[in-house]
């Protein structure tokens, strides 16, 4: 029997639950992306699209999703990350994470379950999270942080860092700037770097970045 991909399940839950909850709110960003990657000395450059989704299904449930898809001659890049957090206390939540990267010989999928700690003020939001791979719980871990900083009124800088200790150790760093043009429409600018290493953590297998620019819509 073919195993279901937990990351696909996560994406389906996000998309379906947004319309199911009456209190749901979402910020959706659609951008043009420029990709530049290196796999063991082979260069891959191309372009494609980047989708960012962030929102709240209820006062205690929040979610985030980032998807990048691009074309490199005869190769296709697919790089996605998503999470759902259920706050059991105002600052402590159960955190479910999924990620996937596919390009040439690199094909890795990770799903982790753990906890998060949140600090929120009118101009600053900090999320710290840690979890373990659900298929090898207690063996492989994922941890990181996300910071949402209100730079000026109507603009924010979102910084995130995540390390996944799995078969191919993966580290991602993302910086995104959102500038409001109206109450519902804004500019979305970002830069994301990704690096994976071999199982021993001694050699870099994949290293690259994505630069993107587009619009953000809130509804």
pLDDT exceeds 60 at position 177: yes
Residue 60 lies in a domain: yes
CB atoms within 10 A of CB 17: 16
Residue 102 lies in a domain: yes
Residue 1 lies in a domain: no
What integer is the mean pLDDT of 170-184?
A: 94
| CATH number for position 213 | 2.40.160.40
pLDDT for the residue numbered 120 = 86
pLDDT for the residue numbered 2 = 45
Distance CA(166)–CA(197), nearest Å, equals 10
Structural domains of the chain, count: 1
Output the six-digit token pair for 66: 């980032």
When pLDDT is cut at 50, 70 and 90, the band that residue 198 belongs to is confident
Distance CA(29)–CA(59), nearest Å, equals 22
- Give the tens place of pLDDT for each residue, 145-174: 999 998 887 899 999 999 987 666 889 999
When pLDDT is cut at 50, 70 and 90, the band that residue 8 belongs to is low
State the pairing for strand pair 92-103/204-218.
Answer: unpaired
pLDDT for the residue numbered 153 = 79
Residue 54 lies in a domain: yes
Three-state SS for 22? coil
Share of the chain above pLDDT 70, in %: 88
Residue span of the structural domain in which 157 resides:
6-13+27-218
Question: Under 8 Å CB-to-CB from 69, ≥6 apart: which residues?
Answer: 48, 49, 76, 77, 78, 79
State the pairing for strand pair 75-87/61-72.
Answer: antiparallel
Residue 21 lies in a domain: no
When pLDDT is cut at 50, 70 and 90, the band that residue 53 belongs to is very high
Residue 90 lies in a domain: yes
- Give the tens place of pLDDT for each residue, 94-142: 999 999 999 988 888 889 999 999 998 888 999 999 999 998 888 888 9
> Are the C-beta atoms of 170 and 108 separated by less than 8 Å?
yes
Residue 84 lies in a domain: yes
Residue 144 lies in a domain: yes
């Amino acid at each position: 029997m073919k195993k279901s991909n937990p990351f696909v399940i996560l994406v389906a839950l996000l998309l379906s639950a947004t319309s199911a909850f009456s209190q749901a709110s979402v910020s959706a960003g659609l951008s043009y992306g420029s990709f530049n990657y290196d796999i063991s000395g082979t260069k891959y450059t191309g372009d494609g699209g980047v989708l960012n989704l962030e929102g709240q299904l209820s006062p205690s449930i929040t979610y985030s999703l980032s998807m990048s898809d691009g074309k490199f001659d005869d190769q296709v890049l697919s790089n996605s990350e998503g999470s759902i957090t259920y706050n059991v206390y105002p600052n402590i939540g159960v955190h479910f994470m999924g990620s996937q990267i596919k390009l040439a010989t690199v094909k890795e999928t990770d799903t982790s379950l753990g906890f998060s700690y949140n600090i929120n003020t009118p101009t600053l939001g900090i999320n710290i999270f840690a979890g373990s791979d659900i298929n090898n719980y207690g063996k492989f871990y994922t941890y990181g942080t996300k910071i949402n900083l209100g730079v000026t009124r109507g603009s924010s800088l979102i910084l995130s860092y995540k390390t996944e200790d799995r078969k191919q150790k993966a580290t991602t760093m993302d910086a995104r700037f959102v500038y409001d043009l109206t109450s519902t429409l804004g500019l979305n600018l970002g830069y994301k770097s990704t690096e994976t290493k071999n199982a021993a953590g001694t050699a870099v297998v994949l290293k690259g970045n994505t630069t993107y620019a587009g619009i953000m819509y809130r509804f």
